[in-house]
Amino acid sequence: MDLAFSPEHTTFRDEVRAFIASALPPHLRAKAESDAHFEHHEAMEWHRILFQKGWVAPHWPVEHGGPGFDATSRFILHDELEFANTPGLSPFGLVMVGPAIMQFGTEDQQRRFLPKILSGEEIWCQGYSEPNAGSDLASLKTSAEDAGTHFVVNGQKTWTTYAQYANWIFCLVRTDPRAKKQSGITFLLIDLKTPGVTVKPFLTIGGTPAFSETWFDNVKVPKQNVVGVIDGGWTVAKALLGHERTQLAAVGTIGRVIRTCKRIASRTKLADHALIDEPAFRDKITRLEVRHRSLKMANWRALAGAQLGRAPGPESSILKIRGAELSQQVYELAMELMGHDALAWFPEPGVVMDIEQSIASLFCYLRATTIYGGSNEIQRNIIAKHILGLG
């Protein structure tokens, strides 16, 4: 993949920088400049601004409302948004279910759902994990019984990220309990306003209301909400997880934390010099930067292939493994640098925390990166089987 900027791409980069400078509202800019946490409503505010510009889904094709960017333009846009620390957008509609509906959905489903995903009018969450089916997702028990024109869904999903804000959930449900684990599963779209759906948020160990438990009690779901074919949901799920694992590489976030580590080390004194001048620290940060650069290039190579019509394949498991591990490593270094200063991480209500004040909370939260999106152990099995041809 050649990322050398042509004159046209250089012009586009200047356009992106000028747009961010003019379009990012002052209250969001203040948070961006201090690396503070953005609330859900602030991310959606930025979503709508990018939608009006036509840039909210740079990887979507023109026929579905995307801008039709080539890989380098997408790289530039993403890189500049990350560098400016603009609010991160929810991936569940734009990155996950949207592309799945494009690939496997009917024309009616595409007309019904894709425009509202783009505009942010409808917010999505993911219904995959269950209390006894997380890394071994194929063991899921949530059932969908055939009732003629509709299914009746019963069961529970957990770790449902930001379900309390969502309008719709895309779910894996078991429609044939007699089939083997990977068979008999259907990919179903469920309106969270449907009677029988209950969503209960809970706090993470980092003190954030990121997750919810979601219950389904005799929930009626029309059959036209099946994406793909009945009992063929595992195929849709694998394709969607490929998009999610590309997202989980977390390239921009990792780069931001590396810069934070440098900033902390620059003001931390050891005897007569700053910590950033200590050879042992410079060795640690250099290793992380090399790994980050490698991950960044691999991630954009995968996305370039997706733009050419190739859905993310098993190579996305490599991105997920390396991104998850590197996310943990950069926060481990940040915790080491801050020492006891990292312990005051439960703020008073209404207090805005910057990234340094949030490090301990994020360190705890990101212990899960090697588990969610498919555990790293499962990803190594995928790589062994589908890339190395083992087993």
Active-site residue list:
244
CA–CA gap between residue 81 and residue 56 (Å, rounded): 11
8 Å CB contact between 244 and 98: no
Question: Could you please report the per-residue DSSP string of 163-228?
Answer: GGG-SEEEEEEES-TTS-TTSSEEEEEEETTSTTEEEEEE--TTS---EEEEEEEEEEEEGGGEES
The token duo for 173 is 């449900």
Nearest residue to 342 (alpha-carbon basis) of 356, 328, 330: 356
CA–CA gap between residue 167 and residue 30 (Å, rounded): 29
CA–CA gap between residue 344 and residue 342 (Å, rounded): 6
Tell me the CA distances in angstroms from 267 to 80, 199, 360, one per residue in order. Answer: 27, 45, 19
CA–CA gap between residue 169 and residue 126 (Å, rounded): 6
Containing H/E element for 126?
strand 124-127
Nearest residue to 156 (alpha-carbon basis) of 140, 145, 168, 170: 140
Radius of gyration of the chain (CA): 22
8 Å CB contact between 104 and 239: yes
The 8-class DSSP code of residue 143 comes to E
Containing H/E element for 124?
strand 124-127
CA–CA gap between residue 210 and residue 204 (Å, rounded): 7
The token duo for 10 is 């250089």
